Amino acid sequence: MYMPHGTSLRMGRLGYQSDAQASLAVSYNSLDGYAASLQDALTRPWPAYEALGIVNPGGDYIQLATSLLQIENEFYGTIRPKRVIMPGERPLHALRERGVEYVEVRLMDLDPFEPVGINTQTMRFIDVFLLYCLMRDSPKDTPQEIAELAKNQHLTAARGREPGLQLLRNGREVSLTQWGQELVAEFVPIARELDAVHGTTDYSDSLQSAKQLLDDPSQLPSARVLSAMAADHGNVFVKFSRERSRKTRQALLDLPWAAEQQTRYEAMAKKSLEDQKKIEAGDSMPFEIFRQEYVSPKRLGL
């Protein structure tokens, strides 16, 4: 069973979504505003989670806290500002203390037809897209725009290949294909600059490929999955995924692997286990005390 024009289960209502987080309206206008939104979610009690409690009747931990978000990484945003944290540090504290180090793009699905889940052409397109986002002037977001973005995400995930699908842009309907073509056209100068720097046409080629996919959605990975399921697997997704997994495994095993690489990774694995033993041997704080300290609101501030 599937939606005939769906593009992504993961980014749809059955994927990284929750009724609790539907109440969040996180703004990206400033780091302070973003941090305040997360702080609210990390400290706001949530009745359904309070009803569950921290431990079950058998004494086993079932969650870390009863707030709307237990930890920062539970926030299901499509993109998140991040930075490397120090041992035991809360990510929100790190952001507030030292600013944004990188952004995490979270709405990318793995391409089942690529052994490592993504190809270089797609990565180049993402480079162009993110540079466009960085360089283009962006008016401050509003609650209306945040709501429109959420609706557009669900529409695209469930019906993205539907001919004539309409999205919302500033309160007005616009077709997904038209909007996509407009954006790709705006990406062209950036792709040309990247091509010039690297002495290639790869970045412009990635835009041409994107235009072709907008014109012919049957070539999108989601459509190719359904086509392959129907042609070779009796419309059974488990059979399709098992076959793709087998091919992926073999493709990776067929890659060259030097003895020096094997030795290096064996040494890394050994050191990792040794480090784990040292950490565990040095544990002196009961877990419940550690948990209470870790989720304490005071660890989220500057």
Q: Is residue 42 part of a domain?
A: yes
Question: What residues have CB less than 8 Å from 138, skipping those under 6 apart?
Answer: none
Q: What is the pLDDT of residue 225?
A: 95
Q: Is the pLDDT of residue 22 over 80?
A: no
Note whether 128 and 208 are same-domain residues.
Answer: yes
Which residue did the predictor score with more confidence, 196 or 15?
196
- Structural domain span for residue 54: 7-109
Note whether 103 and 58 are same-domain residues.
Answer: yes
Amino acid 45 reads P
Question: Which of these three, 89, 109, 129, is where a domain ends?
Answer: 109
Note whether 154 and 193 are same-domain residues.
Answer: yes
pLDDT digits (tens, 9 = 90+) for 120-163: 999 999 999 999 999 999 899 999 999 999 899 999 999 999 99
Structural contact between residues 49 and 63, judged by C-beta atoms closer than 8 angstroms: yes
Note whether 125 and 74 are same-domain residues.
Answer: no
Q: Is the pLDDT of residue 100 over 90?
A: yes
Rounded Cα gap, residues 54 and 60, in angstroms: 8
CA angle centred on 106, ends 219 and 188, rounded to 5°: 55
Note whether 70 and 93 are same-domain residues.
Answer: yes
Q: Is residue 242 part of a domain?
A: no
Q: What is the pLDDT of residue 183?
A: 97
Note whether 26 and 63 are same-domain residues.
Answer: yes
Structure tokens at 34: 């973003």
Q: What is the pLDDT of residue 2?
A: 78
Question: Which of these three, 109, 124, 142, is where a domain ends?
Answer: 109
Q: Tally the domains of the chain.
A: 3
Q: Is residue 2 part of a domain?
A: no
Note whether 94 and 128 are same-domain residues.
Answer: no
Q: What is the pLDDT of residue 64?
A: 95
Note whether 205 and 286 are same-domain residues.
Answer: no
Q: What is the pLDDT of residue 15?
A: 78
Quote the pTM value.
0.88
Question: What residues have CB less than 8 Å from 46, skipping those under 6 apart?
Answer: 20, 66, 67, 68
Rounded Cα gap, residues 295 and 72, in angstroms: 11
Note whether 98 and 133 are same-domain residues.
Answer: no
Rounded Cα gap, residues 206 and 102, in angstroms: 23
Note whether 56 and 124 are same-domain residues.
Answer: no
Note whether 79 and 125 are same-domain residues.
Answer: no
Note whether 96 and 192 are same-domain residues.
Answer: no
Structure tokens at 247: 């091919």
